[in-house]
Amino acid sequence: MKRQTLLENRLLSAYITHRDCLLHEMGPGHPECPQRIDSISDFLLAKGLLDLMLPYDAPEATREQLQRVHAAEYVAQIEAASPASGYFHLDPDTTMNPHTLTAAKRAAGAAILATDLVIAGAAKNAFCCVRPPGHHAERARGMGFCFFNNVAVGIAHALEHHKLKRVALVDFDVHHGNGSEDIFKNDPRVLMVSTFEQDIFPYTGDTPHGPNMVNLPLAARSRGDAMREAVVHAWLPAIERHQPEMIFVSAGFDAHREDDMANLGWIDADYAWITRHIVHMAERYGHGRIVSVLEGGYALDALARSVAAHVGVLIGAYE
């Protein structure tokens, strides 16, 4: 690891999280659990990667920032549903406890802060280690463990506040990012490229909802080779045509072969490989600007290793 070179000669990456993200929980045995954050941070610390990053606490996104991508009525609904005690079930898999609203606002706020830091040149790029995840949250509906669409909030901030003209959203979660597609369909400023396992939740993505959507469903048990072929032959040409000024990442790690949420069978090295291509495209068109936001990943050991592979490439610690 090139620790001394990184510390002396390079702008560092930002690592954004908050302890409030640990307080949100959806009941015993739920796969989207607080331990996900600790497993990642503990592993990154043990590997020395956090020593090469700038730590930040995630702020809470404001109502105005959330309403750039969500209907005002939906934001009000989520705020009103926040329970004083116990649980409120948004759907059978998506539950609020008394801390969920704050955690969800901080998860979205992390993407806002990351965008500000990277565009200002205060950080090389940023990884947001936050929960609840967000890419299933549509403009007016939460689902799939998601309440607010964190990465979409960051993208809208880059477009509306910082006035970027073109951005790309790379989504490599095992589940299709239906919420992000719902929010950005037909927006020519946003190119969304995504891979996901076919015929599983949320059972969408086979038919793109706009010309700015490059959806690549992958067959079960197709392993990382199918993903790599899809990236080379579809993603990269689309990104080259779009020439994004900044790249945002919905970073899901549930395609890993140790994760029983689905059956794509990826390994740690696949996440490093895809990240190298993201970094290359960002350097080519967007001054290296990347904001990566945690989505899925539920096998804790595999999640921690895969995030380390992703982050290690982002910060330049791993080739």
Catalytic center residues:
136
Tell me how far apart the alpha carbons of residues 217 and 175 are, in angstroms, rounded to a whole number: 9
Tell me how far apart the alpha carbons of residues 142 and 100 are, in angstroms, rounded to a whole number: 13
Pairing of strands 213-218, 88-91: unpaired
